[in-house]
Amino acid sequence: MIMIWNQKEVYCGYSLQQFNKVMDALDFSKIKYKYKIANNFGSSSGRGSFGQNMKYAHMYYVYVHQKDYDQACFALKNVKHE
């Protein structure tokens, strides 16, 4: 089980397409992962997102168990970056 104390980040970025490629590569290699999507323009401020570049609206994170980190890096080596 992947917990905060035994996880390692293998992807952090703004691209949904790249995020999906990373998860597809991990799935193909049968590596378990967990992910987090952070909303960078949180609506709690009441300011909305007027004038913000929506390309940066979400930050995507993918984590694997630390024992799977080297295998995940190998699996992601050939994932094309955008």
SS3 of residue 5 by DSSP: helix
Contacts of 59 (CB under 8 A, 6+ apart): 12, 13, 14, 37, 38, 40
How high is the pLDDT of residue 6? 95
How high is the pLDDT of residue 28? 96
What are 26's two structure tokens? 């991990």
How high is the pLDDT of residue 53? 65
pLDDT along the chain (82 residues), means of 10: 93 95 97 93 57 78 97 90 64
How high is the pLDDT of residue 11? 96
Domains of the chain by range and CATH? Answer: 4-41+57-76 (3.30.70)
How high is the pLDDT of residue 43? 57
How high is the pLDDT of residue 82? 61
Calpha distance 35→63 (Å, rounded):
6
